[in-house]
Amino acid sequence: MSDLLFDLTLTDEQRMTRESVQRFAAAEMAAPARAADEAAVTPAGFYEKILELGLSLMPIPEALGGAGMQRSPVSNVLTAEDLAQGDLSMALGSLSPLAFVNTLIDQGNDSQREQYLPRFCGEAVTRATIAFMEPRATFEPTELHTSARRDGDGFVLNGNKTMVPLGLDAQLLLVIAELENEGPAAFIVDGEYAGLEREPEQHMGLRTIEMASLSLTDVNLPAEALLGDGRFDLQRFLDLSRLGICALAVGTCQAVLDYVTEYCNERVAFGEPITHRQSVAFMIADIAIELDAMRLMTWRAAATAERGGDFHEQAYLAKIFCAEHAMEIGTNGVQLLGGHGFCREHPVEMWYRNLRAIGILEGAVSV
C-alpha cells in the first residue's frame, strides 16, 4: 500500500511559485484570452513575458546558464494547472519550450545539452516544440507512420505531423519518428531544412496557440540530430506528457467551476438564486467531485514519477479519466449558463471548445 501514498503538502518554494504563476495567469492570460481567441493569435509580447517567469530556465543546470533546479514532475504539473486556469491555449504554448527542454534533459546526451540548453537562458525568446501527432483517424501514439532511415552518417525523414504547438515559427523542433529497423527515435530539427514545409491549422479550440502541420519529404539531417545515444524511450515520454495534459485539463476545469458557481449564485429566477434548485446545485457539486478526482489522480501519478516509481498505469488512467470528465465538465458548464452558455459574451463556451482537445492531445507537454 505504501506505493499508493503521496504527500499533498507543498514545499515553501512550490507555494511561492504557485502564487507567482497564478497572478501571471490572471493578469496576462485570463484577461486577454477572449480577445486572443477571437483574433486567433497570441497577444503581442506574451512569450517575452513568459520568458521572465523562467519556466524553461529552472531545470537547466547552472553550468549551462540555468537555475539548476532538480526536475520536478509535481512542480511542473502544478505550473501547468495554474497556467491553464488562465487559458489552456496560451498555457500549452507557454509549456511547449519546457517540454522540449525536459525531454532533452531526460533523454539527450551531454553534447546536445551543451549545444541547445544555453539558448533558453538568454534574453531572447527561443521557440521550441515537439512534433508528435499524425493526421490520421486511426492515430496510435505507439505506432508512428513518420519514418526515418539512416543515410550514410545522417538520417532522412519522411511523414506528416499535425497539431504542432508553435509549429509555424518554432526554431527548434523535436520530431518523433520510427527509425527503420530500430524503433522509436527523436530528432532535433534546428532551423529550416529542404523538404520541411509548415502550414497553419484552424481548430475549434486552441485558437491562440497557432497550431501547425508539418510535411517532411526527404529531409536530410546530420548524425548529431538523433536525440541521445540509444533508443528513444517513447513510453516514458508519453507518460510524462499525459501528466502535463491532465494538469491542463484540471486547471481549465477549475476555471469552469469557479465561473459557474459565481454565475449561478448571482443568477436569480423566480425570486431566488438558481443554486437553490437541486438540479443546479447537484450539477455544480458533480463538477467539483469530478475535478477533485482528476486532480488527485494527476498529482498521485506525478508524485510517483518524481520518486522514480513506475507511473505508467497511473498516467494512463489519469489521462483517460481527465479526457472523459473534462469534456463532461465543459458541457455542463455551458448547460449551467443556459442561453448565456451559447453566447460568446461568456468564456465558458471557449473553455468548452478548448477542453475538447484534451481527449486527442498526445506528446505536447512533457513534465
Tens-place pLDDT, residues 76-98: 999 999 999 999 999 999 999 99
Inform me whether the pLDDT recorded for 1 exceeds 90: no
Mean confidence (pLDDT) of the chain: 93
Model-level pTM? 0.94
Residue 242: all three cell numbers together: 499525459
- CATH fourth-level superfamily of 130-225: Butyryl-CoA Dehydrogenase, subunit A, domain 2 (2.40.110.10)
The CATH 1.10.540.10 domain(s) of the chain lie at: 2-125
Q: What is the pLDDT of residues 104-152, one digit of tens each?
A: 999 999 999 999 999 999 888 899 999 999 998 888 999 999 999 999 9
The CATH 2.40.110.10 domain(s) of the chain lie at: 130-225
Q: What is the pLDDT of residues 302-358, one digit of tens each?
A: 999 999 999 999 999 999 999 999 999 999 999 999 989 898 889 999 999 999 999
CATH number of 2-125: 1.10.540.10
Residue 188: strand, helix, or coil: strand
Residue 117 and residue 101: Cα distance in Å, rounded? Answer: 7
Cβ-in-10-Å burial (0-12, 13-18, 19+) of 62 comes to exposed
Residue 161 and residue 136: Cα distance in Å, rounded? Answer: 10
* Helix and strand element counts for the chain (H, E): 10, 9
Residue 98: per-residue pLDDT: 93
Inform me whether the pLDDT recorded for 2 exceeds 60: no
Inform me whether the pLDDT recorded for 266 exceeds 50: yes
Residue 286: per-residue pLDDT: 96
- For 11-36, what is the mean pLDDT? 92
For 183: left if phi > 0, alpha if psi spans -120 to 50, otherwise beta; the answer is left
Let me know: does 300 contact 71? Beta carbons within 8 Å: no
Residue 169: strand, helix, or coil: coil
Which class is domain 234-355? Answer: mainly alpha
